[in-house]
Every structure is written in C-alpha cells, then in structure tokens.
C-alpha cells in the first residue's frame, strides 16, 4: 500500500496544541507522512475550538476547506466543536470520525483500522491523559498538560459542558513526560490546564498544584517553567514562596475578565477586585518587573458604561504587560445566554473592545520601555522574519526579542538555547538588541 499522508489543524488553546501534538506523534508512528494543512492529504485531523461563536465558525471553515482540498480525504474531527456543532459538521461527507475530547486518544487506533476494512474501532472511551508526548514538532518550547476540565461554570463559558469536570494527571506521568522532553532537548515547558489551580482536587491524595510544581522544579535539565494561567486566589503564600525558585518564569497570566465586582459576581468568577489586587501587589512586591498578562471580556450582558470604565481603570492600575481582549460571545447553554434582556448591542461591544485594545498597546509599550539598556535571557526560537542574519526568541517575561546572530554558525547553534541579549530599542511588537557573549546565568530568567 502506498504511504498515506496526514495533515493536522489545531484551533484554540494550549491544551488543544498539546493534544494535537500527541495525536500527531501517534499517527506518524503508524507510517503516515505529514503534509502541510493546506495541501491535499489522505487524512486531515482537525482539533476544534468552540470557546466563542467565532472559534466555532473558524473550526467549520477549516473542516470545509480540507474537504474541498481533497474531496476523497477522510477528515477526523475532534475537540469542543464536535459536541457543540455536531449537526452541521456531520453533514460534511468527508468527516469519517466525529468525536469530542474523550475520543482524542482513539484517533490513532481509528486510523490504524481506517484503511483495513473489518478492523473494529474500540467502542470504549479512553482516558484523556492517555495522550503523551516526547517532543513538540519543531518548536523550542513544549506544553505539558497536567489538568483538564473545570468545576466553575462561569456564566459565559461553555468549556465545563464540553470538557467535563476537573481531572488531574498522575504526578508520576507528568514527571516522566518532562524527563522525555528534556532528553529530547527541550529546556522550557509550559504547564497547562483548563483550570490549573484545581490540580489534585479529585486525586486520592492530599497532593495539590504546589506539590506538583515542587516536583517539576526538581527535574534535571529543565531551565524554565511557565504556568499557562492561574486565578487570582491561586497565589497563596505557599505558591508565592515556591515561585521564588528561579526556574519559574517571571510571567503570570491571571484572567481579570471584568473590573467591576458586580459583573464578576454575575460572571460567577469566585473572586473580587480586592482578591485580584492582592495577587498583583504580592507579585510586584516579590519580583523585579514581573510580566502580568490578562484576559478581559467586554460587553458581558448587564455591563454598563460605568462598569466598563471601571475595567479601564483597573487595567491601568494593575499595569498589565498584555491584555487579551474578548468581545462577549453568546454560547447557548450557558448562564449568560439566559440574560438576553441585558445584552449589550454589537456596535457598543466593538467600541469597548477597540478602546481596551488601544489601552493594551499603550500598557505593552510602557512595560517594554523598562528594559531598554538592560539584559534579558532569551530562548532562541528561529530566524527573525524579514531580516537576514537575525534571530528571534522569547525572554522569561514573555517578551519577544530579536538580535543579529554573531555568525552563520552561531545562527544554527543558538536554536533552542538560552542567550543573553542587551536590549537597544522597542519595536512594534517586541524588542531589538545585540548578543552578549557572557554565559547565561544558571536560572535563565535573571535580569542583569
């Protein structure tokens, strides 16, 4: 039989990126040859997202595009849209497997039998943590999933209905996977979960997220650890003490979502502005120029102009280095979908999103200005687009940094390593600097 080809398309969060990589490894191990997602393929694996109406529409668009690219292909559709958009997706004739998140570990077994008629597809559901990785494609940073699902049922969020309640991965499996990644040359990882601070809640032990992170910090060869996202109340004294370990990047993503206590209560977020303020103040007091990024939803049902102004004020107060702005997206089945009398009209939502987007650019610029003339340790990720001889990477504070390689040989050798870069100027989206030949300090995150 001729070698079959497969293409992989991922939409949405870091969890999806992790799961696609695990599926990809399994499919390629079956003998499939990978091709670009825009090329004709025998099989397309589309890992979908449905967190907003726009992401659901985008998922459908990619599935339809794959069907047009090769009408004879078989399309495997998994992820959140598979549940949320099941009726419309199932009408696409090329869709050979339509599964939610629990079915992701079955993709390899399905394809293993796909071209061999008569082989049964296992009917039982698999454990989502049956997915494992030992690498992350051609990326220099790997994501490791330790938790899935959510118990919170925030008013606007469909995820608990699609990924279920909180589930935690066994700590031994996490450490084993980190060991494999380090053995394969990865020195930075992102520890990810849908609701990371819930790690350990349902395990038959007293183990919690801090205990797991203590073990992760002790993995030999791991230079930098990022945490994907944490709620304001996660920053307990125990966690803050642990984060003093220099292996942890001085970048924390803490979703604010709204700057008004009343809207936070409607959203069922479980924290107040004072809770958020305490977390930010603790981080800013303990760490030098920490990068604190956030998510904000504008136009949630019931949000008044004054409450939107409160959000603007809080964003200025907290000095975020990046604000991810999300116009409210109604998802049927959520609590917010029942608040139709209080809906903020689309033109007003767009206006508020534009204002917050301008503030994001202003605050990001102000934050980056702090690093002119200072040194950063940068994980080199590859060539800087459009500039011959330049390299680009990411500093511990999640700043994008570019610099000219000292030689063609260094350009190749620096890939996937930490290098010291002295910052000279701000660019539209990051920083430019020059290579510093001094060796990177042991932690890989210290400013100098």
Residues 184 and 333 placed together within one structural domain of the fold = yes
pLDDT at 82 over 60: yes
The CATH number of the domain where 79 resides is what?
A: 3.40.50.12160
The pLDDT mean for the chain works out to 91
Confidence of residue 40 (pLDDT cuts 50, 70, 90): very high
Residues 56 and 96 placed together within one structural domain of the fold = yes
The CATH number of the domain where 319 resides is what?
A: 3.80.30.20
What SS3 state is found at 148? strand
Does a structural domain hold residue 445?
no
Does a structural domain hold residue 442?
no
Span 202-206, average pLDDT: 82
Among 84, 64, 153, CA closest to 334: 153
pLDDT tens digits along 152-189: 999 999 989 988 999 999 999 999 999 999 999 999 99
Range of the domain at 279: 131-369
Residues 390 and 325 placed together within one structural domain of the fold = no
Confidence of residue 130 (pLDDT cuts 50, 70, 90): low
The CATH number of the domain where 417 resides is what?
A: 2.40.50
Output the CA torsion sign for 220, 226, 228, 230.
positive
Point out the domain boundary residue: 313, 334, 369.
369
HEC profile of 6-54: EEEEECCCHHHHHHHHHHHHHHHHCCCEECCCCCCCCEEEEEECCCCHH
Residues 350 and 302 placed together within one structural domain of the fold = yes
Point out the domain boundary residue: 319, 350, 369.
369
Residues 44 and 106 placed together within one structural domain of the fold = yes
Return d(Cα 302, Cα 26) in angstroms, integer.
46
Residues 53 and 11 placed together within one structural domain of the fold = yes
Residues 341 and 208 placed together within one structural domain of the fold = yes
Return d(Cα 301, Cα 328) in angstroms, integer.
8
Does a structural domain hold residue 443?
no
Residues 228 and 352 placed together within one structural domain of the fold = yes
HEC profile of 86-105: HHHHHCCCCEEEECCCCCHH
Residues 114 and 174 placed together within one structural domain of the fold = no
Confidence of residue 441 (pLDDT cuts 50, 70, 90): low
Does a structural domain hold residue 326?
yes
DSSP conformational letter for 125:
P
Q: Which helix (H) or strand (E) holds 225?
A: strand 224-227
Point out the domain boundary residue: 369, 386, 421.
369
User: Within 13 Å, how many C-alpha atoms sit on residue 52's CB side?
Assistant: 13
Does a structural domain hold residue 444?
no
Output the CA torsion sign for 97, 100, 104, 109.
negative
Does a structural domain hold residue 275?
yes
Burial class of residue 297 in the structure, from the number of CB atoms within 10 Å of its CB (0-12 exposed, 13-18 middle, 19+ buried): buried
Does a structural domain hold residue 260?
yes
What SS3 state is found at 391? strand
Residues 168 and 89 placed together within one structural domain of the fold = no
pLDDT at 127 over 60: no
Residues 190 and 319 placed together within one structural domain of the fold = yes
Does a structural domain hold residue 448?
no
Residues 195 and 221 placed together within one structural domain of the fold = yes
Max Cα distance, the chain (Å): 66
Return d(Cα 20, Cα 339) in angstroms, integer.
35
Among 170, 228, 246, CA closest to 441: 246
pLDDT tens digits along 295-344: 999 999 999 999 999 999 999 999 999 999 999 998 888 999 888 778 99
- The residues near 123 (Cβ < 8 Å, ≥ 6 apart) are none
User: Within 13 Å, how many C-alpha atoms sit on residue 312's CB side?
Assistant: 17
Q: How many domains, the chain?
A: 3
Q: Residue 429, Cβ neighbours under 10 Å: how many?
A: 11
């Amino acid at each position: 039989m001729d070698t079959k080809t497969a293409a992989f398309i991922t939409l949405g969060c870091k969890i999806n990126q992790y799961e696609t990589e695990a599926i990809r490894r399994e499919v390629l191990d079956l003998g499939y040859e990978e091709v670009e997602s825009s090329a004709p393929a025998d099989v397309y694996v589309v890992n979908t997202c449905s967190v907003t109406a726009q992401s659901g529409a985008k998922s459908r668009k990619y599935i339809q595009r794959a069907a047009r690219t090769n009408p004879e292909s078989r399309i495997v559709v998994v992820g959140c849209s598979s549940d949320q958009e099941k009726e419309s997706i199932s009408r696409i004739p090329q869709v050979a497997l339509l599964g939610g998140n629990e079915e992701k570990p079955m993709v390899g077994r399905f394809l293993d039998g796909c071209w061999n008629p008569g082989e049964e597809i296992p009917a039982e559901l698999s454990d989502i943590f049956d997915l494992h990785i030992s690498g992350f494609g051609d990326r220099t940073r790997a994501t490791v999933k330790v938790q899935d699902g959510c118990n919170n049922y925030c008013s606007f969020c469909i995820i608990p209905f699609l990924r279920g309640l909180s589930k935690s991965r066994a700590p031994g499996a996490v450490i084993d996977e980190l060991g494999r990644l380090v053995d394969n040359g990865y020195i930075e990882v992102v520890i990810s979960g849908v609701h990371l601070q819930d790690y350990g809640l349902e395990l038959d032990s007293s183990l919690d997220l801090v205990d797991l992170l203590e073990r992760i910090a002790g993995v030999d060869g791991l230079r930098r650890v990022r945490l994907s996202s944490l709620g304001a109340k996660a920053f307990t004294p125990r966690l803050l003490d642990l984060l003093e370990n220099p292996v942890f990047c001085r970048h924390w993503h803490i979703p604010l979502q709204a700057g008004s206590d009343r809207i936070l209560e409607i959203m069922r977020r479980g924290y107040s502005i004072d809770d958020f303020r305490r977390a930010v103040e603790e981080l800013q007091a303990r760490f030098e120029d920490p990068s604190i990024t956030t998510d904000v939803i504008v136009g949630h049902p019931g949000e008044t102009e004054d409450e939107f102004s409160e959000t603007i004020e809080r964003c200025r107060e907290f000095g975020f280095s990046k604000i991810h702005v999300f116009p409210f997206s109604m998802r049927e089945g959520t609590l917010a979908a029942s608040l139709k009398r209080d809906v903020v009209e689309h033109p007003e939502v767009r206006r508020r999103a534009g204002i917050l987007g301008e503030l994001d650019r202003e605050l990001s610029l102000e934050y980056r200005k702090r690093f002119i003339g200072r040194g950063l340790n940068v994980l080199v990720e590859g060539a800087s687009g459009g500039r011959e001889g330049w390299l680009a990477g990411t500093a511990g504070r999640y700043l994008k940094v570019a610099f000219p390689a000292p030689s063609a040989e260094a350009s190749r050798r620096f890939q996937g390593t930490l290098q010291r870069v002295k910052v000279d100027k701000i660019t539209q989206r990051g920083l430019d600097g020059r290579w510093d030949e001094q060796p990177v300090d042991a932690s890989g995150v210290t400013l100098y």
